[in-house]
Amino acid sequence: MALFLALLSSAFATWAQQSARVAPADILIVHAKIYTVDEKKPWAQSLAIRKGKIVAVGTDEQVGRMRGIGTKMIDAGGKLVLPGFTDCHIHFIEGGFSLARVNLEGAKDVAEIQSRLKAYVDKHPDDKWVLGRGWNYAMFAPETLPNKKYLDELFPVIAVFLKGYDGHTSWANSKALALAGITKATPNPPNGEIVRDPKTGEATGALKESAGDLVSKVVPKPTYVEKLNALRAGMKWANQNGITRVHSAGGEFQQLDLLQELRNEKQLTVRFHVAYTLAPPELRAQDLDAIEAARKKFHDEWIDVNSVKFFLDGVVESHTAAFLEPYTDDPSTKGSLFWDPEKYKAAVTELDKKGLQLYTHAIGDYAVRTALDAYELAEQKNHSKDHRNRVEHIETITAADIPRFAKLGVIASMQPLHSYPDQDTFDVWARNIGPDRASRAWVWKSIAQHGGHYAFGSDWPVVTLNPWQGIQTAVTRQTTDGKPPGGFVSSQRLTVAQAVEGYTIEAAYAGHLEKTEGSLETGKVADVIMVDRNIFEINPRTIDQTKVVLTIVGGKIVYEADTL
Ligand SMILES: [Zn+2]
């Protein structure tokens, strides 16, 4: 008995000493189901935040000791808490702009597009340009490309310019073509095509890849304030969906000053990794200067520049993705690389040597192989270790290249919602490349089984940044109504936990941040979200209905639903 008391009192003394030293938390989340994504301790009840960092994770009893007079108590009422999500591939300011433009996502046919445009014009009668995005190729079958005639009927006077959902093909009406000076005589720009009527030679209004820039160039530029507002709207939308960090894959490098201004005004509620987009044909001194200057200026936990993005090919739908063998529906083409492979490899080697992380957009199997070859060569020449260079998209791949991600330490940066197996995916994407290549569609699971790392994102505004739809698609590989039965290349279905990792710890790894972000552990940043349902327990086909009820970034509440 004496011994027991002695033990008890010494335990009490230790506890009392410890608790005396423990400073009170700023925020305590209690009565939660916390999925920490920390494999040593995957589940917890409660967590404490102080000065932007997580200072305790454990049971209500353990963490409750950090309650002080000023501590904000959040009773989760059993709700699921997760680390804040990272979107590893995003075009953020474009996404922010898209929130205020015509959204054609989900439109069933041309008539629905026309009625959405009309509704927009009725609300904005003074606009001289109508901009929008989100149409898909399948609604223009069998050519699968849009035509200006559908727009000219309704809008003979104002200019209409609409990007396809993937951003790779544009659709302009006659007014927009005229303002851009596009005539029969206009030659195709490098890496682009002005689609022409086979009989008359006139532009049809469909503009592939860089041909869209001919029109974008003449669209009135947004003002400084409009840009700031687009970023603010984007951050609000991101936080509302549970996103706390993004990896910008193009568009934000030009906006670094705006991001800095938002930070100075304490309005930054999303953390930004920003890549410099390097255009072909080669790496120039002025590119290096711009990268180095930005790198010197931006390198903290909120804004950092340490990566360079290449576009190596286009997309499957418009036959611009580069393949080793010809397209199945059009054997006259294999697509082609946007870069001369030798110049691309030289640029990769030089940038890798400087310790920059490289992103390469590669969708067709030839582009994916060229990117892996370039990274392998850079590693050999530079003896670089752990650079975590990335291939973006990887829509299909040869079987031989799957294990190379693990072998070379290359990250597979993929966007689950791009694999959403709707009609467009089968009627256009799978038709264009045939069943063999389509059998290796979005193979994140195979890459992971070989030991490779995968990181998830959206490519917003190509598709919504809503990660819950992404998780559902990664887990089911089906549409929301359960098609196809068993799932599209069902061998690639992930568990819910694996899909969550793609947006959390794997995403942090892809950004060299797994020591400070990506899981809920003591010492890591307090980027935390709470959702209205337990995605581990519900029917996976309803995960897309998940609503975020609370988002904390750097220990600050940046979004709170009315229902909390
Ligand atoms: Zn992209």
CA angle in degrees (0–180, nearest 5) for 40-551-499: 50
Give the DSSP letter string of 122-155: HH-TT-SEEEEEEE-GGGGTTTTS--THHHHTT-
Separation of alpha carbons 202 and 183, rounded Å: 7
Cα(459) to centroid of ligand 1, in Å? 5
pLDDT at residue 144, rounded to an integer: 85
Distance (angstroms) between ligand 1 centre and the Cα of 413 equals: 11
Amino acid 300: pLDDT: 94
Q: How far does residue 56's CA lie from ligand 1's centre (Å)? A: 37
118-130 mean pLDDT = 93
Phi-psi group of 451: left, alpha or beta (phi > 0 → left; psi -120 to 50 → alpha; rest → beta): left
> Could you tell me the distance, in angstroms and rounded to a whole number, from the CA of residue 49 to the centre of ligand 1?
34
What local confidence, expressed as pLDDT, does residue 12 receive?
Answer: 46
| Ligand 1 centroid, distance to 249 Cα (angstroms) | 6
* Three-state helix/strand/coil letters over 25-38: CCEEEECCEEECCC
Phi, psi of 475 (to 5 degrees): -85, -40
Q: Is residue 59 within 8 Å of residue 44, measured between CB atoms?
A: yes
Going from the Cα of 283 to the center of ligand 1, the distance in angstroms, rounded, reads 20
Backbone angles phi and psi of 355, in degrees to 5: 80, 15
Compute the average pLDDT of residues 491-502.
98
pLDDT of 406 reads 98
pLDDT range class, residue 342, cuts 50, 70, 90:
very high
Ligand 1 midpoint to CA 315 (Å): 11
On the question of pLDDT at 14 being above 80, the answer is no
Ligand 1 centroid to 460 CA: how many Å?
A: 7
Identify the pLDDT of residue 168.
85
For residues 53-68, give the mean pLDDT: 96
The Å distance, Cα 81 to ligand 1 centre, comes to 29
Mean pLDDT of the chain: 94
Please state the separation of Cα 245 from the chain's center in Å. Answer: 10
Rounded to the nearest angstrom, the distance between the alpha carbon of 316 and the centre of ligand 1 is 14
CA atoms of 279 and 310, how far apart (whole Å) = 7
Strand, helix or coil at 80?
A: strand
> Do the strands 192-196 and 169-172 form a parallel or antiparallel pair, or are they unpaired?
unpaired
Round the CA-based radius of gyration of the chain to a whole number and report it.
Answer: 25
Rounded to an integer, what distance in angstroms lies between the CA atom of residue 557 and that of residue 564?
12
Q: How far apart are CA 251 and CA 247, in angstroms?
A: 11
The confidence band for 563, taking pLDDT boundaries of 50, 70 and 90, is confident
Name the amino acid, one letter, at 230.
Answer: A
Distance CA 321, CA 392 (A): 13
Query: Rounded to the nearest whole angstrom, what is the distance from the C-alpha of residue 240 to the centroid of ligand 1?
Result: 21
Q: Report the pLDDT value the prediction gives residue 100, as an integer from 0 to 100.
A: 87
H-helix segments, 441-523:
444-449, 467-476, 496-503, 505-510
* pLDDT over threshold 80, residue 564: no
- 90 CA distance to ligand 1 middle (Å): 6
Whether the per-residue pLDDT at 143 is higher than 90: the answer is: no
Cα–Cα distance measured from residue 357 to residue 348, given in angstroms and rounded to the nearest whole number: 9
Side chain identity at residue 500, one-letter code: V
16 has a pLDDT exceeding 50: no
How remote is the CA of residue 392 from the centroid of ligand 1, in Å? 8
pLDDT tens, residue by residue, 428-483? 999 999 999 999 999 999 999 999 999 999 999 988 999 999 999 999 999 999 99
The separation between the first and the last C-alpha atoms of the chain, rounded to the nearest angstrom, is: 49
Can you give the pLDDT at residue 283? 96
- 145 Cα: distance to centroid of ligand 1 (angstroms): 21
Mean pLDDT (whole number) for 108-116:
94
Number of alpha carbons in the 13 Å side-chain half-sphere of residue 423: 11
CA dist 80 and 31 (Å) reads: 10
Query: Residue 434: exposed, middle, or buried by beta-carbon count in 10 A (0-12, 13-18, 19+)?
Result: middle
Q: What is the pTM of this model?
A: 0.87
Region 275-298: mean pLDDT is 97
Distance 458 CA to ligand 1 centre (A): 8
203-223: average pLDDT:
95
Distance of CA 301 from the midpoint of ligand 1 (Å):
23
In this structure, which long-range contacts are made by residues 186-195, counting pairs with CB atoms below 8 Å and at least 24 apart in sequence? 186/214, 189/213, 189/214, 190/280, 191/280, 191/314, 191/338, 195/145
Tell me: pLDDT of 174 over 50: yes
**Residue 111: how many other CB atoms lie within 10 Å:** 11
Q: In this structure, what token pair is assigned to residue 279?
A: 């255009």
Distance CA 28, CA 557 (A): 12
Predicted local distance difference test score (pLDDT) of residue 138: 84
Q: Distance from the CA of 258 to the center of ligand 1, in angstroms?
A: 21
Q: Coil, strand or helix: which one is 327? A: coil
User: Where are the alpha helices (H) located in 429-495, listed in sequence order?
Assistant: 431-438, 444-449, 467-476
Express each pLDDT in 506-549 by its tens digit.
999 999 999 999 999 999 999 999 999 999 999 999 999 999 99
Q: What is the DSSP string of 171-232?
A: EE-HHHHHHTT--TTPPPPTTEEEEE-TTT--EEEEEEETHHHHHHTTSPPPPHHHHHHHHH
- When pLDDT is cut at 50, 70 and 90, the band that residue 424 belongs to is confident
Centre of ligand 1 from the C-alpha of residue 345, in Å: 21
Distance 138 CA to ligand 1 centre (A): 21
pLDDT score recorded for residue 257:
96
